[in-house]
Amino acid sequence: MPRDKDGDYEVGYGKPPRHTRFAKGQSGNPGGRPPGAKSFTTLLDEALNERVLVAENGGRRKVSKRHAIVTQLVNRAATADFRAMKMLLDFARDTERQTEPASPESAAFTEAEERVLEQLKARFSKTEQ
């Protein structure tokens, strides 16, 4: 391995020469994401939470864009728009799937897990005596 100019530091993999290292206070990625930049998810949430004026039942009120989108989708599905129906049913199915509790079959232990539990019980019963 080559030595550094001072002779006390070996240069190699993961050990760059001292003159090529980052200076004190210099970032490893100076052209990286600027502070305060928002992710796509944050931008989407902000846009969907913006309030818009909606005319409904002869009156006007402000609702979020998220609420307006869902209302329009449901209304289109109610007028026999099959694409809107499919989208609405897919969203409903995905939402139900996310909130569904685990089935009792998946809560049961496998044979290997049962053996481990028995070993743990035996180990703890020995230490308590």
Instruction: Tell whether 42 is covered by a domain.
Output: no
Instruction: Tell whether 124 is covered by a domain.
Output: no
Range of the domain at 90: 51-99
Instruction: Tell whether 106 is covered by a domain.
Output: no
Instruction: Tell whether 44 is covered by a domain.
Output: no
Instruction: Tell whether 72 is covered by a domain.
Output: yes
Tens of pLDDT along 29-47? Answer: 777 778 888 999 999 999 9
Residue 114 has pLDDT above 60, yes or no: yes
Orientation angle between helical segments 65-78 and 40-49, nearest 10 degrees? 70
Average pLDDT, the chain: 85
**Structure confidence at residue 107 (pLDDT):** 67
Instruction: Tell whether 75 is covered by a domain.
Output: yes
Q: Which two tokens stand for residue 68?
A: 């307006």
Instruction: Tell whether 115 is covered by a domain.
Output: no
Overall number of domains in the chain? 1
Instruction: Tell whether 88 is covered by a domain.
Output: yes
Strand residue runs (E) in 19-127? 51-56, 59-64
